[in-house]
Chain A
């Protein structure tokens, strides 16, 4: 049973694949980040373990953001985002909670803190939660989010992106990140994406468009796999 065999080996992150702060035009990357480097700590059981069954607490089920109710449908390009959540050994992570939130097609979030003058869509709230299956697979039906300018940032536009939060089998495998869309000209200029020093690490945040022939229905498909930290000290049986 995979669920009883979670990763037990955690190496420090490769810093080249992780973001650097501060980020120009984003003052919270200064105000809210420590001035002191973090202290090295032994990874004791508290860090290496984590909640294995969060579904009763964080209820999954809202994996269709585009159709809030029968007969109602959000404005925008209908898309299907799917992929696998795996560990560093490439093994699927079953039962992980995956949370997704995003702007609407006009680049506006249905959130009180987004006060930009762009239309809200009454049929799009833009958030959902699901759970990976036994093979680590997840999927969401949604719409392609719009780009939007970041206020007071000096003409910085966020490219279309979706926010993703994943709670895996260990607190050390916790991940919050953003998925980008392939081929968008704004990607190359995005200050968040560019805060990852390693070009390959940036590319891994960009989804791949699924050949339309491989997607059923009227959804444009995007595939995006996620690697959570953690390996197995004992290699799994082949």
Chain B
């Protein structure tokens, strides 16, 4: 195919609306450690639980929202050819998962603690990209979850540094005990709220 002189314009976004089919969700969709519901979880890395609530203006639960997570494996690699080290990425780790918020707006993902990696933009701290779609959200809202205990790496992360310093703590998950025998981390997402509490989102 001959490359067009001008790129084709990307199709415009719309909301999923209030009726995203519940039957699209299967057991294990929110488990990043398996490439399918039937596959065994990867044996590499420290397995962790990520959980929190998605809240709307006024602090009420954002019910029936869909969260999609994407992250590197425990060694900081992606099974994708844009990653020069992709052939060494963990073949048993998918790195992608989808969760659905309940009546309390709660979500959870099972995953492994991602590795950091070096990018042209700078050294990336361990992180998980999160996208929120839902009724009334006409374009997905993208943000990034960082982990506590990596203060130095977080301070150097080029994406976290794109957020004003006073707001960065809103993207760092808090230790949240143990669940299912795994260390848990909590990050609530406030989609709209006071300037010092609204979750920072990034340009898509």
Q: Chain A: residues with CB nearer than 8 A to chain B? A: 4-6, 8, 11-14, 17-21, 23, 26-36, 38-54, 56-59, 86-91, 99, 101, 103, 109, 111-114, 125-127, 129, 163, 165, 169-172, 174-178, 192, 195-196, 200-202, 204-205, 226-229, 231, 235-236, 238
Question: Is the Cβ of A90 less than 8 Å from the Cβ of B4?
Answer: yes
Q: Given A12-B203, A34-B198, list of 18 further CB < 8 A pairs?
A: A6-B80, A19-B138, A31-B192, A32-B65, A32-B135, A35-B193, A35-B195, A42-B121, A42-B122, A44-B119, A46-B124, A50-B96, A56-B35, A89-B7, A174-B131, A176-B15, A192-B138, A236-B1
The 7 closest A-B pairs by CB, nearest first: A28-B136, A56-B36, A42-B121, A49-B80, A88-B7, A51-B96, A19-B138
Known: A32-B62, A113-B64, A238-B1. A42 touches B203 (CB 8 A): no
Question: Is the Cβ of B10 less than 8 Å from the Cβ of A36?
Answer: no
Per-residue contact bits, chain B 6-24, to A (CB 8 Å; 1 contact, 0 not): 0111111111111111111
Question: Is the Cβ of A127 less than 8 Å from the Cβ of B29?
Answer: no
Question: Is the Cβ of A40 less than 8 Å from the Cβ of B78?
Answer: no
Number of A-B contacts (CB under 8 A): 259
> Which residues of chain A are near B198, meaning CB under 8 Å?
34-36
Per DSSP, chain B at the interface is: loop
Known: A23-B138, A33-B137. A45 touches B119 (CB 8 A): yes
> Which residues of chain B are near A39, meaning CB under 8 Å?
162-163, 200-203
The residue of chain A having its C-beta at the shortest distance from the C-beta of B58 within the complex is: A31
Q: How far is the CA of A8 from the CA of B81 in the complex (A)?
A: 10
Tell me whether B156 is interfacial, beta carbon within 8 Å.
Answer: no
Q: Chain B: residues with CB nearer than 8 A to chain A? A: 1-4, 7-24, 26, 28-29, 35-37, 39, 56-58, 62, 64-65, 68, 70-72, 78-83, 94-96, 117, 119-122, 124, 127, 129, 131, 133-142, 144, 158-159, 162-163, 191-193, 195, 198-204
Q: List 23 A-B contacts (CB under 8 A).
A: A19-B13, A23-B138, A27-B136, A29-B136, A31-B136, A32-B56, A32-B65, A32-B134, A33-B191, A33-B192, A34-B191, A40-B202, A49-B70, A51-B96, A57-B28, A57-B35, A57-B94, A58-B29, A90-B3, A99-B24, A101-B19, A101-B24, A238-B2
Question: Is the Cβ of B7 less than 8 Å from the Cβ of A32?
Answer: no
Question: Is the Cβ of A46 less than 8 Å from the Cβ of B127?
Answer: yes
The residue of chain A having its C-beta at the shortest distance from the C-beta of B4 within the complex is: A90
Question: Is the Cβ of A176 less than 8 Å from the Cβ of B1?
Answer: no
The residue of chain B having its C-beta at the shortest distance from the C-beta of A178 within the complex is: B14
> Which residues of chain B are near A205, meaning CB under 8 Å?
11-12, 14
Expressed in whole angstroms, the minimum distance between the Cβ of B60 and any Cβ of chain A is: 8
Q: How far is the CA of A39 from the CA of B198 in the complex (A)?
A: 13
Q: How far is the CA of A45 from the CA of B76 in the complex (A)?
A: 10
Question: Is the Cβ of A19 less than 8 Å from the Cβ of B139?
Answer: yes
Q: How far is the CA of A204 from the CA of B89 in the complex (A)?
A: 38
The residue of chain B having its C-beta at the shortest distance from the C-beta of A62 within the complex is: B23
Question: Is the Cβ of B56 less than 8 Å from the Cβ of A31?
Answer: yes
Q: How far is the CA of A236 from the CA of B4 in the complex (A)?
A: 11
Q: How far is the CA of A92 from the CA of B64 in the complex (A)?
A: 32
